[in-house]
Amino acid sequence: MTRLILFTNDYPHDRGDAVFVEKEIDALAAAFDTIVVFSASSSDTGPFRQLPANATFGGNLYGRAPGEFRWLLRPRALVAVARALWMELRNGRGRHLGDFARAAVLGLGRAYRPAVRAAIAADAETVAYGFWGMGGGLVLPWTEDVRARVVRVHGYDLYEERSPSGYLPLRPFLFARVDRILAISTDGARYLAERYRRLGAASKTIVSRLGVYGPAESERPAPQPERTIVSCSAISDVKRVELILAAVQELAALDSSVPLRWVHFGDGPRMAELTAVVEGVSGLSVELRGSVSNDEVLDFYRSARVDLFVNASISEGVPVSIMEAIAHSIPVVATAVGGTPEIIGPELGTGELVPADATPAEFAERMRDVIEGVEQFDPRRLWSTDYDAHRTGESAAQLIRSLLDDGPPTGLPSTQRSGDRGR
């Protein structure tokens, strides 16, 4: 019997990373005999996604458990902590020992939960898979007695300079302990290879893109007299939604004879500020839809003529929101940051890029170029080859399942063997 232990942030809770994990879970269920899912969600309330027939929910690992500190005093746990601490110090990360200690206690406590230990003990042929390199994934390097460990890294859990402190805990220990690293972008794989060269991260890393489902047919609604521009993201400093508003205003000023409508899906810490600015806008129609379900966004793409999707983030992995747009044949203008150039560009047929420091006027010019030259773009073609979840989910499942055929089990003292196996 083969078993997958899947550590998530929220899934199967119907929020957070559920929209990502659901794109892989069916393929994973087909690749393994059984799956046990553990979340690290801050709340147990709300609906749950339906799991595949051979998958069960092992429980929510968030918070502390009775007797947790006794588990941390076990000899194997102390050895693991000593090794992780040594790797932090050896890699010049000693200034963040407080953050390291908190993450180590959190990860170890979760790894020693009886439910986790029982799930691993049930089958010898077990792979532990952390869908994130932070959050629920912090348990991954501390898991014992599994055949292999896999971590998927995205953006916030990969690029250390994005965190407020410039530090993500346990990076050397995590990347040394895992047998395979799934990066969602080529940019992420490059970052791993350069930053963790001493750990041999490059030899373990494979680009495994996320994907989305798309409509069976590429039939866009007919063009309308009013042009509709859409954005979809949190309203935060990183996403710079206020820059999109300024660019749309500049676009409206370029040709006041064409009615213009901007629709934004998403909420966030700067929502009140943006709402106040929008109240003074004239010359275009603005709709701030707030936090809505993913289904509502996709229904809008199917029913309304969307002329352009815009992303102004200052930092990204590969935005799922852009994948959803191109799946519905919507061209995109976006900032050339992170993995975005891997999905957007005229040579890819998906849209145009602007520099991360582009002005609203520069944004507006590219937006006008794409809207007026829409016949030059075929965004859905790239989605069908690289970002269709039917393809990406199956590929990820096979990359994870194949580790059961690649070598002997990895026990606690496996740092060196784990590195060797990737070469």
3-state helix vs strand vs coil in the chain, percent to 5: 45, 15, 35
356 residue type, one letter: A
Pair 143, 5: CB distance under 8 Å: yes
Distance CA 331, CA 377 (A): 7
Spell out the residues 6+ positions from residue 418 whose beta carbon is closer than 8 angstroms to its own: 149, 176, 177, 178, 179, 204, 410
For residues 182 and 208, the answer to whether their CB atoms sit within 8 Å is yes
Q: Where are the alpha helices (DSSP H) in 145-270?
A: 171-177, 186-195, 201-204, 241-254
Upper half-sphere CA count for residue 262 (Cβ side, 13 Å): 26
d(CA 172, CA 152): 15
Strand order from edge to edge, sheet including 205-207: 55-60, 34-39, 2-7, 125-130, 148-153, 180-183, 205-207
* Domains and their CATH numbers in the chain: 2-211+390-416 (3.40.50.2000), 227-384 (3.40.50.2000)
For residue 83, which of 178, 172, 195, 192 has the smallest C-alpha distance? Answer: 172
Residue-level pLDDT, tens digit, the chain, 423 residues: 999 999 999 999 999 999 999 999 999 999 999 999 999 998 888 799 999 999 999 999 998 877 777 777 889 899 999 999 999 999 999 999 999 999 999 999 999 999 999 999 988 899 999 999 999 999 999 999 999 999 999 999 999 988 889 999 999 999 999 999 999 999 999 999 999 988 889 999 999 999 999 998 877 888 899 999 999 999 999 999 999 999 999 999 998 889 999 999 999 999 999 999 999 898 899 999 999 998 999 999 999 999 999 999 998 889 999 999 999 999 999 999 999 999 999 999 999 999 999 999 999 999 999 999 989 999 999 999 999 999 999 999 999 999 998 654 443 333 232 333 222
| Distance separating alpha carbons of residues 72 and 65, to the nearest angstrom | 12
Quickly count: other Cβ atoms within 10 Å of residue 183's Cβ: 26
Contact 50, 78 (CB under 8 A): no
DSSP 307-329: -EEEE--SS-SS-HHHHHHHHTT
Q: Under a CB-based contact definition with an 8 Å cutoff, are residues 173 and 166 in contact?
A: no
